[in-house]
Structure 1
Amino acid sequence: MEDLSFRSNLKVQVLKWWSLETGLQVSYLNHTPNSYYQSTLEQQPAVERLRAFEPAVYLDNKFSLGSRIEANLGLRSVGYLSKASSFTSLEPRVRISLTLALEQQLHASYQQVTQNEQLLFTSGSIMNNEVWVPAGVGINPARSDQYSLGWTGSFHNGQYTAEITGYYKTLSNLATYREGYSSLMGDLDWRSKVVTGGTGRSIGVEFLLKKQYGDWTGFASYAYSRTTRQFPQINKGQEFTFDFDRPHTASLNINHKFNEKWSASLTWVYQTGLPYTPVLGRQLTLDTEPDENGSLGYYEVLLYGDRNSGRMKDYHRLDVGVTLNTVTKRNRNATWTFSVYNLYNRHNPYFYYFNTNDKAGFERPENLTDFKPMNLYQMSFFPIIPSVSYKLYFDGTATKVPKRFTGEKFRKWLYQEK
């Protein structure tokens, strides 16, 4: 996919309580969804090039209704013009904010979003085969309606902030791979591998607590969400868990500044494992093409359960780092960073596969009784990785800071003292 865009924006303060922002964007898009390159071929396979223009204009109004209420009303119009088809969509958006006492705010919003390109990917893997397919013959633009309600608060002169946000999203006109396919490469009839008309739902709540300045800074966050999809041609038409559904996501970040030279950081991340489609069994199926002797053989096929009805192991890791700020002989600022990714060497799953062994090949039985046990195997990447980096700044000479007494740092544990 190639994207060449032009954008222009204009902001106007119409009245003291009313500001306006408008703009336009024109994009030239060039899609080759079935393209791939194979170095061993003298002549690469033919690909279909799909070119389109995507013009869009928008208008946003911001109103201050007294000292406590702000309202944002906007509308965006986006088109999609190609040789085979054209689409036009309107995207309204509304946001209302109510300022409460003690630096707190309530906000509610609604927006409609249209996407003229859809992302196809293989399920059950983080490192998957991704391809963008454009709207056109048989593929309508995807649409979503998003609702959110939240609260934000700031405490102790902005040193601490907290956020709670809940959201609900509905999606329509979704596209995905037809069952049994995981790639469009080299196929001029790639549309036959895509199913459309899907719907989706997503609901969740997010929490965030942050300390923004002081010797100790950091944040703690947690999110609970569920996302589903439904296609008439997939999973017998029943709703199934989305490929990237992670019900629980949490992270913790702690930074400490020991003095003007030394600082350290710690980040821990946790996510529920990705869903995958489990194998329930296998069977021998009669081949439809005879062998060189004219006989029909058998080949082994896997029998799968419901779409995304299994889950991988949970994902979590711990990253740590130490930073040293120095000044070079030429009076330039420089930074040394010593870090360790995945400190406790967690083998997080990136994808699962079923096989009779842990090798890449799949062994066929030589006869009807020569079956070998099949197991579930896990592929993992990125174990513990230490690293060292050095950064030199050329944005001016350094200013040396006087040393601070050791006892001062204890007074900045909860509150910033100046």
Structure 2
Amino acid sequence: MKLKHIFLCLLLSLSVAVSAQRVTITANGRSAESVFKELMRQTGKNFIYQSGALSGLRVNVNAKNRPLGEVLDDIFSGTDITYKISGNNVTLKRGPKPSSPAKAPAPRRFTVSGFIYDAANREAVVGASVFDLESGASAVTNASGFFSMTVPEGPASLRVTYFGTEPWESGRLDVSRNMSLKVELSPVRQLHEVVVNGSVNNAKAMNSAEIGSINLSNEKIRETPVIFGESDVIKTLQLEPGVTSGIEGMANMYVHGGDTDENMYMLDNIPLYQVNHLGGLFSAFNTGAIRNADFYKSSFPAKYDGRLSSYLDVHTKDGNPERHQGSVTLGLTSGAVNIDGPIWKDHTTYSVAVRRSWFDVITYPASLIMSSVNKDRDVRFRYDFTDVNAKITHRFSDRSRAFVSVYYGQDYLKYVNKEIYRSTDESDKTTARMWWGNIVASAGWNYTFSPSLFGELTAAFSRYFSSLNRSERTETTDSDGATDFTEDKLGHRNKIDDIIVRADFDWHPVNALAVNFGTGYTYHSFLPSKGERTLITPGDKTTVIANDQTLHAHEASLYAGADYTPADFIRINAGAHAALFSIGGRTHANLSPRLSFRITPVRDWAIKAGYSRTTQFVHQISESAISLPTDQWIPIAGGNKPQTADKIAAGIYYTTPGKQYTVSVEGYWKWMDNLLDYSDEYYLVAPDAPWDQKMTSGKGRSRGIDFKVTREYGRFTGSVSYSLLWADRRYDGKNGGQWFPARFDNRHKINVFLNFKFNEKWSLGATWTGMTGNRISIPLQCWDDPQLGPWHFDMDYYDGINNYRLPFYHRLDISATRHTKHGFWTFSVYNAYCNMNVIAVRRDYSDSYETVTWPDGSVSYTSRPVFQYVRLLPFIPSVSYTWEF
């Protein structure tokens, strides 16, 4: 009982504190709108009312350090305007004041639901806020633009707000039954307009129970300066605290001390395995095809599981149902064509986006010219990458919609080197071909089953593939003109096929409760590492195949989550994700609980805390920090167990009055188990041995703090962030079983992002990144190998893994955008002050050496290695033009 009394007293004190906020204001005949803007500045509250409701109202008030409630009572004394303070909102409406405290019978309640679209392109708006000025009920749209809320019978006045758009008002509605609406939001008319409701991410920080989640619009992605002028969703996320790129310029993510394979990348809710081009220099996400993206790094909705560190869900465009539109982009490294429009006006739409690189257009002719100069050597090189996104959407009605989507992405590399030795009439020809990428085909149907229940059914096929072929052919011509030859062919294959079916539902039984639940099944087919070698000689052909084993796995999942707001100052998000993974006669069952909450003890402040468990059944094995076709995706097998991570996180958030700035400080601690890596004895295992014999399992831990200050609206926007990180690993078969720092244990990282819109034509963006260098392993001493003789220093002594940290990394990127009548120019500079950052070291040996005589009389030589820094990317300017139609 004591706890109950304490809780009731706290609830009462908070409600009193809300109306007791003190303000100082003097007004003699001022307009009501100007007075409320001043009160908003002082209190940070949103004053919500219908357009025209306060027209003609002049305010006379003289208040000095008086409670807000008393000041509002004075302002509205003698008028028919009433107010209601609810959390950070003050709702104003005209109507008679209540005259009797007698208890009235509870009115019937009905559900108002619908979809919200962007008027400019008719795409669904994610994260729009819907508010009823009469009852105070509110809702937020989901990934399909759907919202649902319950209101009492009688008058209702809806107001819809979203960052960068004009507020939409329904006017007076007479609610006597369930209602369905379709709303279109128009862009703001002025760059400097103050958006009272703040941005989407501001609302996420202050109102939701999620920790470390953001939403990226297409416009936000395009604002970020990047290498070669290629806007990129992953490189935009690298500016978030707690996210690092690994190697300079790469489109990789290492989140809160995790590895790059611990991030789940999804395209319209379908997982992708390969998300990089050119070794990671570009991501596979074509910005022209993206509508928006959701990113989670600390607390995770129950819907997501399968990776340990983060989840990125990219939503593609549906297409404009009224008119055809598109764009053509020409850059220094690639070109893109995006087009969408109606097939059947207001019913069926299409959206197609194609991107292709120009590298082969430059490199292949250049290699031909070089070969024509040297008659004894013929070298040819070609590389290109391609992305194709295509989507058809059909709207049967306002309640029913179906879509078919296809994605194809591939890298292709071919290298030919032929050398002719005229003195011996011999020639050697080396040919290498590599191609790798993704194919995804999906179909879905979403339906509004009732005003409070929305569902989506999806079926998909996904394939990841990589192939490497290499051949060496030697030809010899004798004096009689007869030709003899030998040819050695090597091949490597890696493939994953997934067949996916899933069902997801959103249910809003009451305003204070939103429930999401669903189930899914995936059939996996893995070909982890098929090797093939063929030796061809005149009259003979020998082929050896290794690891030609396909693994089949079944994965089933079930999840449920609830978002509950029992009072304005508290919000709770709880759920769980259950999964079964069956492979090789063994079944692994895992339950991943999720819990987070948010409280707002005083105005403009929020406190959050949460716990999440995540599970991973598929892992990527790589010998390099860049993305290569030799990387292998493998399932758990043999005696290995699923990877798991347990994470606790907490944060404090503050938004300034008027919501101009949002400040967040988040801390986390993460424990990881059953991690996989190559063992120290990897090179002692036969090359054709099964992959699981080369691995060792271990643990990981990371902890840190993320700090960020953000301004997301107005002509001047930007953010400043700082992250502090410790990340360690321990494996049974590495480093003697002792803990060692992770490779990307970047202790300190600072990001500064600024964007300024001068006018309707020109905008300028800049980012500065500085962080502690990556870790590498370097030997302290080198010994000669007795089997190879003296001076072959092939035996190294290390005092630990990742025992050396590279120098501090920093660079400045700048971009400028000029809008024209039919498009825009983008000018960018990567590494503006040309700081040649160190990405690796190259080993050499000193001229001095020492002689060591052993007790048995044998002699060895030792030399201390000398290391030289390897630097990669200098000052790189670029330009591109986008024509819009």
- TM > 0.5 between the two? yes
Helix, strand or coil at the partner of 2:600: strand
Q: Which is further off, 53-62 or 94-103?
A: 94-103
Question: Residue type of the partner of 1:315?
Answer: Y
Helix, strand or coil at the partner of 1:355: strand
Matches within 5 A, 1:211-360: 211-287=711-787, 300-327=794-821, 332=822, 334-356=823-845
362, 370, 386: which one pairs with 2:877?
386
552, 555, 567: which one pairs with 1:51?
552
Question: Residue type of the partner of 2:839?
Answer: Y
Q: Which is further off, 41-50 or 74-83?
A: 41-50
1:62 matched to 2:563: yes
Distance 1:36 1:248 in 2: 42
| Cα 1:305–1:110 shift into 2, 3 Å | same
Structure 1 residue 54 displacement after superposition: 1.5
1:31 matched to 2:520: no
Distance 2:843 2:634 in 1: 29
Question: Residue type of the partner of 1:105?
Answer: A
Q: Cα deviation per residue 1:331-373 (whole Å; 9 max; x = unaligned)?
A: x3x010000011122222222232349xxxxxxxxxx788877
498, 506, 509: which one pairs with 1:11?
506
**Gapped regions of structure 2 (runs ≥ 5):** 1-494, 847-858
What root-mean-square deviation, in Å, do the aligned CA atoms of Structure 1 and Structure 2 show? 3.0
Question: Residue type of the partner of 2:726?
Answer: R
| Cα 1:392–1:261 shift into 2, 3 Å | same
Question: How high is the TM-score relative to the length of structure 2?
Answer: 0.39
Helix, strand or coil at the partner of 1:236: helix
Q: Cα deviation per residue 1:117-156 (whole Å; 9 max; x = unaligned)?
A: 2233447x56687433311112210111100010122223
Q: Which is further off, 63-72 or 34-43?
A: 34-43
Structure 1 residue 38 displacement after superposition: 8.7
175, 184, 202: which one pairs with 2:676?
175
Match of 1:88 in 2: 589
| Cα 1:382–1:31 shift into 2, 3 Å | farther
Question: Residue type of the partner of 1:52?
Answer: A
Contact persistence 1:148–1:165 (CA under 8 A): yes
Structure 1 residue 218 displacement after superposition: 0.6
Distance 1:205 1:286 in 2: 50
Helix, strand or coil at the partner of 2:528: coil
Distance 1:187 1:98 in 2: 57
Q: Cα deviation per residue 1:262-308 (whole Å; 9 max; x = unaligned)?
A: 11111001121111112111112333xxx9xxx99976322222111
| Cα 1:145–1:184 shift into 2, 3 Å | farther
Distance 2:722 2:608 in 1: 20
Helix, strand or coil at the partner of 1:138: coil
Structure 1 residue 34 displacement after superposition: 2.6
Structure 1 residue 4 displacement after superposition: 3.9
Match of 2:652 in 1: 151
1:104 matched to 2:605: yes
Q: Quick check: which has more Rg, 1 or 2?
A: 2
Contact persistence 1:218–1:255 (CA under 8 A): yes
Distance 2:730 2:619 in 1: 16
| Cα 1:98–1:370 shift into 2, 3 Å | closer
| Cα 1:103–1:5 shift into 2, 3 Å | farther
Question: How high is the TM-score relative to the length of structure 1?
Answer: 0.81
Distance 1:283 1:89 in 2: 48
Question: Residue type of the partner of 1:59?
Answer: A
| Cα 1:86–1:194 shift into 2, 3 Å | same
Distance 1:388 1:148 in 2: 42
Q: Which is further off, 58-67 or 178-187?
A: 178-187
| Cα 1:132–1:73 shift into 2, 3 Å | same
Helix, strand or coil at the partner of 1:226: strand
Count of residues in correspondence between the two structures: 372
